[in-house]
Amino acid sequence: MKKILSILISLFILFALCPAFFAENPAVISVTSAVGKPGDTITVFVSISEDTNLGNSRIDFLYDINELEYIGSKAEGVGVNSIVAAVPNASGVSVGFITSSGIREEGNIFSVSFRIISSKIPSRIDISVSVPEFVDADTDLKIPNTVNNTFIIIAEKINGDLDFDGSVTISDAMLGFLWLAGKVDLDETALVSADMNGDGATGICDIMKIFMLVADSNG
Ligand SMILES: [Ca+2]
Ligand SMILES: [Ca+2]
């Protein structure tokens, strides 16, 4: 019994002395989807959860380069100072970025624009998104992270047409209000159509715009 106790105590001391392998806050990376026609340039926005203290890093986007062409990346909103390297390759593009110090805020960190080469309409281009390694800006410890894959829908997008019947009517506005109230779910494609101001997110301002559009067209 005494022996077991001393082993437990030794183990406890060993763990107490070991530096933590992971930094504390996981980084949740979200990438928006988009809708466009063949030939259109569309933009997806990459955002991060709060208080990650993420330092310089990169995110990889894998897709069929015969369907999608990389156009450019732009630093956005919180914490990313500049895009250092966006390297298009045979399987997609890697976007590297510089942070002024660790990223603490939540919000968009950068955007990536693509041109739709594929002429298949309607269809869908999948983009698989991955993070090679995230490290803490101060301690260099690994930051655990999650990231979602995304997709581009190739379709005739009509801003505000949430039910995809080809026109914007009071039904679309009602659908938007029901969604805001949490009464119905909208799939990601409908949410992209609902993004009236093109900022990559759908909210009350967008739904109000749809409502105003319908109200105006009804005199
Ligand atoms: Ca409609
Ligand atoms: Ca919006």
CA of 166 to the centre of ligand 1 (A): 6
- Higher-confidence residue of 154 and 16: namely 154
Backbone angles phi, psi at 92, to 5 degrees: 145, -140
Does the residue 184 lie in any domain?
A: yes
Same-domain check for residues 139 and 204: no
Which ligand has its closest atom nearest to the C-alpha of 168?
Answer: 1
pLDDT at position 5 over 70: no
Q: In this structure, are residues 136 and 23 in contact, taking their beta carbons and an 8 Å threshold?
A: yes
Please give the tally of structural domains in the chain.
Answer: 2
Q: What is the pLDDT of residue 18?
A: 46
Same-domain check for residues 177 and 146: no
Q: What is the pLDDT of residue 38?
A: 92
Q: In this structure, are residues 127 and 119 in contact, taking their beta carbons and an 8 Å threshold?
A: no
Q: What is the pLDDT of residue 212?
A: 96
- Higher-confidence residue of 162 and 158: namely 162
CA angle 32, 177, 181 (to 5 degrees): 85
Measure the CA–CA gap between 201 and 154, rounded to whole angstroms: 19
Kindly report whether the global pTM for this prediction surpasses the value 0.85: no
- Which residues are near ligand 2, the ion (C-beta closer than 5 Å)? 195, 197, 199, 206
Which residue's structure tokens are 């660790």? 102
Q: Which two tokens stand for residue 137?
A: 């800006």
Same-domain check for residues 132 and 186: no
CA of 173 to the centre of ligand 1 (A): 9
- Higher-confidence residue of 1 and 210: namely 210
Same-domain check for residues 141 and 89: yes
CB atoms within 10 A of CB 182: 7
Domain range enclosing 134:
27-154
pLDDT at position 11 over 90: no
Same-domain check for residues 141 and 181: no
Same-domain check for residues 97 and 198: no
Does the residue 159 lie in any domain?
A: no
Region 35-52: mean pLDDT is 93
pLDDT per position as a tens digit, 67-120: 999 999 999 878 888 898 899 999 999 999 999 889 999 999 999 999 999 998
CA of 153 to the centre of ligand 2 (A): 18
pLDDT band at 206 (very low <50, low <70, confident <90, very high): very high
Does the residue 213 lie in any domain?
A: yes
Which residue's structure tokens are 């310089």? 56
Same-domain check for residues 60 and 106: yes
CB atoms within 10 A of CB 55: 19
Region 180-195: mean pLDDT is 90
Q: What is the pLDDT of residue 21?
A: 52
**Reduced 3-state DSSP string for the chain:** CHHHHHHHHHHHHHHHHCCCCECCCCEEEEECCEEECCCCEEEEEEEECCCCCECCEEEEEECCCCCEEEEEEEECCCCEEEEEEEEEECCEEEEEEEECCCECCCEEEEEEEEEECCCCCCEEEEEEEECCCCEECCCCCECCEEECCEEEEECCCCCCCCCCCCCCCHHHHHHHHHHHCCCCCCCHHHHHHHCCCCCCCCCHHHHHHHHHHHHHHCC
Which residue's structure tokens are 């926005």? 45
- Higher-confidence residue of 17 and 134: namely 134
CA angle 191, 157, 210 (to 5 degrees): 55
Which ligand has its closest atom nearest to the C-alpha of 199?
Answer: 2
